[in-house]
Structure 1
Amino acid sequence: MNVLGLIVEYNPFHNGHLYHLNSAKKIVSPDYTVAVMSGNFVQRGEPAIINKFSRTETALNMGIDIVFELPFVYATQSAGTFANGSIGVLERTNVVTDIVFGSESSNIEYLKKISNVLITQKKEYTNLLKYYLKKGLSFPNARKEALKKFFDNDTDIEKIVEKSNDILGIEYLNNLNYYNSKIIPHTIQRHGSDYNDSEFKGKLSSATAIRKLIFENKISKIENSVPKKTLEILKREISKGNGPINLEKMREIILYKLRLSEREDITDILDIKEGLDKRFIEYSKRSKDINDLLKKVKSKRFTYTRVKRSMLNILFDLKDYEYKKYAEYGPQYLRVLGFNKKGQKLLNIIKKKSKYPIITTPSQYYQIYKKLIKDLKNEDKKYDSIPEIFLEQIKYDFKASNIYSLLYQNKISSSYEEDMIKKVIML
């Protein structure tokens, strides 16, 4: 049985995603296709344009058989942590045989070569990394420069470490190694606009450019850039007052949190280092909106995206010591957001094979927690989940959804716990 695993955000699902999905299926010829998808907040450190259930509905309509949610504590972090959680979910299904990811270079051997250096932490590389960090570069930029130098300025390596999809691909390989996974990695040459390209380029435009037009109330212009179902679901959610959502809609929530905080309140938050706590506290009192705050806090040391992620960590009170546990032990459950009839068959197989709880009814999370505690006492343990970490991780998912719902214009949608009420999407 071949099971294709994909790591996605679909924010929103566009023609480039459809190309990737269809190309991946051609490479693997899978019996089933599963996706692990960011929930209501995404890796850029922002809320998704529409909620996770609507994006799941699109994914199922486009040919995904099961959608699993990437737990919040991984979804909004750096490439390494994002990959740790995503690969962890796919690995813990115990059925995924192949993963296919987009890559600017599409050179799997070079990606493996770089990954090997990062995994083995060769002394020459680590010394170079320390050197560039001391020069004041951010960690991502210091790592890029160290790798370039390590590989003696090989032009192919230089191109790879500068590209966002290749960098993420390297992290996928690192984490396949971390989990000692047998999942086989493949790459697809990335086509069309770059990930961060804000210029609209028609049929193969980036998600960034598409979101920009939606926020400018020009949704009709994206008709040829997204599948018909994407457009239909986007229009439906917007008409209901459940989108479009962006970071600026969090202005009051974030500035309120920061303006009430003292430096000592946020020093133990994940990624709050080297004076970032002082910058957030001081500039929150002098910023008129989120973009203004980000521009002031950003520096040579702290990239724009890093600042956004750190800001969400403060909002959700995600502690550094918690993050270390999550990075070490990985995701503790498989949260199902949706499946089709074909996917339902695979889900039954996963329930028999996986050593981690499958969550289809989140409101029963505490019963699952108690079951995990009871399971610890059994000689023949059914689960490998650590009960306390399971509870912590899923509570962060609930917090994320509850904050996200406050961003809806539709007050009725904001008045109930979506994760507890909303049923799994079934097609």
Structure 2
Amino acid sequence: MKTYGIICEYNPFHNGHIYQIEETKKQTGATHIVAVMSGNFVQRGEPALMDKFKRAEIAVKNGVDLVIEMPVQYSLANAEFFARCGVMLLGALRCVEGISFGSECGSIEQLSQCADAVQEVTTPENIKPLMEQGIPFPDAVHQLVSYKYGPMVGDILNSPNNILAVEYIKSLKILGLLDKIKPFTVKREGAEHDSDSHSSTIASGSYIRQLIDDGEDFSAFVPKETADAVAEYEEKELLCWFENFERVILYRLRTMSPQELSMTPDVGQGLENRIFQAARVATSLEDLLDKIKVKRYPMSRIKRILFNALFGIRTDDLKVPPTFGRILALNDKGAEILKMAGSLPEDKLSIPFSSSLKDFVEAGKQNKNVMRAVGMTTVSSDIYTIGSRNIRPSGMDFTGKVTFDKIEGFVSELPEDMKTTAMSGTAEEVEKMRAERAAAKAAEAKAAEEASSEDKPESEDNSND
């Protein structure tokens, strides 16, 4: 058993993702794949096209064995926090031997050298003067790395997948996991990240989403499960788009003070005042973004800020590491990963894993960090359900179907304390299964007790009349 992790969004799951999974298995000998996947909102500051349960189901049917949800406060964070959370969740399983990620350069040595450079130069005294000149943070880091280590190292930061790759390696080093989790990169093939072109049967996620939005054929770039799911969601008008949150975002911003906005992640240098004023005069979401936009802030950062403000996520929330691992989908091999994880001694990264959010609620009632994390998850999911043309009921986190995909001829057994991970269905169905299991155990215990008492000889009467 050799387990590799992938940190991803799968928005939507496409042929490029299949290529990465297959190359990871082929080149590393990995037998099991665990994915840490963004939930209903993604790092570019937008809602996922389809909800997290459906995307996780598609992933498990196409080479992934276990899907863990990345908490919303981290999926809507910058590259550093996004990568740090993903690596921490993989480390918390304690049986992941490597992490696989795409990159434009395709060299772990070059990426590792760049990670060291970034870590060294990104100090407040280095960054602040450049930021005060209006230079965006990524450009400031690029300038500093290029100046100290040369343009060849700096140019690695010109490509989006390289940037995330550098952050993954940096996180492994900072968390002391580099000797336990080996980094592996798949050189990006075909279309570039966010490219409007395609190569053979591989296209970028943004290009595929644009085809879907335009009603064009995209089936050549995705597996059948993705194409079928998009068709189903389109028919039911359940695909989720950024512009559908226009009114609720404007409402939220118009009820927030500049002080409240200043506590939102990525807000600084007076940006809270700019957002506050823009929200009061903007007549559309496009108008709002146009009024907030300045050179130093990438559009993805501004969009993340809007959703963080909408969900009430604060900067301090990013100081708390993940408190639990929410399982969205798995198969029999995924169950093996959990069994292995459950049999290992705990360490500083250990957290509980379960498919039921209710498990964490019940176990964490006295832990404010757990309850805060549960609250951010449920609020963001409930708001997500209004982002499609047809509004869905709230409560997705307690009613969403968790996929458990059986592998023919494969026998797996979950450890006793993780049996909830194998359950799927609505909250009512899961509760019924748990009640039935508890009743069966109680009946067995009672029958054993009765059988034991019947086998005992009658005691002699030693009393004196």
What whole-Å deviation, never above 9, does each CA across 1:124-169 have from its counterpart, x for those lacking one?
x87553442232201111111111111133xx32331111111101
Task: Tell me if the contact between 1:132 and 1:145 (Cα under 8 Å) persists in the aligned partners.
Answer: no
Aligned letter for 1:109? E
After superposition, residues 111-260 of structure 1 pair within 5 angstroms as: 111-119=111-119, 121=120, 128-153=126-151, 156-181=152-177, 182-199=180-197, 203-218=201-216, 221-243=217-239, 245-260=240-255
CA drift of 1:102 comes to 0.4
Pick one of 275, 278, 292 that aligns with 1:280. 275
Instruction: State the distance in 2 between where 1:320 and 1:16 align.
Output: 34
Task: Tell me if the contact between 1:98 and 1:185 (Cα under 8 Å) persists in the aligned partners.
Answer: yes
Instruction: State the distance in 2 between where 1:194 and 1:101 align.
Output: 15
Aligned letter for 2:222? V
Alignment correspondent of 2:459? none
Alignment correspondent of 1:380? none
What whole-Å deviation, never above 9, does each CA across 1:88-113 have from its counterpart, x for those lacking one?
11010111001111010012111111
Task: Tell me if the contact between 1:34 and 1:66 (Cα under 8 Å) persists in the aligned partners.
Answer: yes
Instruction: State the distance in 1 between where 2:296 and 2:368 align.
Output: 35
What whole-Å deviation, never above 9, does each CA across 1:206-238 have from its counterpart, x for those lacking one?
1101101111222xx101111111101111122
Aligned letter for 1:303? P
Aligned letter for 1:236? E
Q: Which has the larger radius of gyration?
A: 2
Give structure 2 stretches of 5+ with no counterpart: 406-465
Task: Tell me if the contact between 1:202 and 1:222 (Cα under 8 Å) persists in the aligned partners.
Answer: no
After superposition, residues 21-420 of structure 1 pair within 5 angstroms as: 21-119=21-119, 121=120, 128-153=126-151, 156-181=152-177, 182-199=180-197, 203-218=201-216, 221-243=217-239, 245-323=240-318, 325-326=319-320, 330-353=321-344, 355-370=350-365, 387-411=367-391, 414-420=392-398
Aligned letter for 1:39? G
Task: Tell me if the contact between 1:56 and 1:338 (Cα under 8 Å) persists in the aligned partners.
Answer: yes
Give structure 1 stretches of 5+ with no counterpart: 374-386
Instruction: State the distance in 1 between where 2:389 and 2:342 align.
Output: 38
Cα RMSD (Å) of the superposition? 1.8
Task: Tell me if the contact between 2:73 and 2:308 (Cα under 8 Å) persists in the aligned partners.
Answer: no
Q: Which deviates more from structure 2 when the two are superposed, residues 294-303 or residues 205-214?
A: 294-303
Q: Which deviates more from structure 2 when the two are superposed, residues 291-300 or residues 198-207?
A: 198-207
Change (3 A) 1:117 1:128: same
DSSP 3-state at the match of 2:73: helix
Aligned letter for 1:391? M
Q: Which deviates more from structure 2 when the two are superposed, residues 168-177 or residues 187-196?
A: 187-196
DSSP 3-state at the match of 2:374: helix
Instruction: State the distance in 2 between where 1:301 and 1:416 align.
Output: 37
Task: Tell me if the contact between 1:361 and 1:423 (Cα under 8 Å) persists in the aligned partners.
Answer: no
Instruction: State the distance in 1 between where 2:371 and 2:232 align.
Output: 34
How high is the sequence identity, in percent, across the aligned residues?
Answer: 31
The two structures have a TM-score, normalised by structure 1, of: 0.89
CA drift of 1:283 comes to 1.6
What whole-Å deviation, never above 9, does each CA across 1:162-203 have from its counterpart, x for those lacking one?
111111011001111122111000111111222122345662
Change (3 A) 1:197 1:61: same
